[in-house]
Amino acid sequence: MDVIDIRTPHREQGEAVSVSLMKTAHMQLLQLALPAGHGLPQHAVAGEITIHCVAGEVSVALRDGVRQLRENQLVALAAHEPHALQAVSDATVLVTVLHAPA
């Protein structure tokens, strides 16, 4: 397995960037660079996930309320858990998705 560089990817001013850093049969690691005010609408994924705020601040809207994540904080979600993400400030987030074995 190679070493993965998680520095914030280059982006134009005000542009959101999503990069798949790695993907295996059982896991995917995504990096999101979100300008303040940008985010992802409510959605759910089939696998369990973690949302790890690497830099900045994001709001994660869940069924039972909103969680504020700041640098070095994360939240773990069950499979099929509806959630939305909104950058409070310019933010970098790592999302790990665990895929169920086939």
The CATH code of the domain that includes 51 is: 2.60.120.10
Is 6 inside any structural domain? Answer: no
43-101: pLDDT as tens digits:
999 999 999 999 999 999 999 999 999 999 999 999 999 999 999 999 999 999 999 77
Is 22 inside any structural domain? Answer: yes
Is 90 inside any structural domain? Answer: yes
Is 2 inside any structural domain? Answer: no
The pLDDT assigned to 26 comes to: 94
DSSP code string of 75-96: EEE-TT--EEEEESSSEEEEEE
Quick check: 10 and 94 in contact, CB under 8 A? Answer: no
Segments forming the whole domain that contains residue 65: 17-98
Is 70 inside any structural domain? Answer: yes
Overall average pLDDT of the 4-20 stretch? 74
Which two structure tokens, joined as six digits, stand for 56? 């900045």
Is 4 inside any structural domain? Answer: no
Spatial separation of the C-alpha atoms in residues 35 and 89, rounded to whole Å: 7
Domain count, the chain: 1
Instruction: Specify the higher pLDDT residue, 85 or 5.
Output: 85
Is 8 inside any structural domain? Answer: no
Is 82 inside any structural domain? Answer: yes
The pLDDT assigned to 57 comes to: 98
The pLDDT assigned to 3 comes to: 80
Residue 8 has pLDDT above 70, yes or no: no
Which two structure tokens, joined as six digits, stand for 60? 């994660």
Spatial separation of the C-alpha atoms in residues 51 and 63, rounded to whole Å: 16
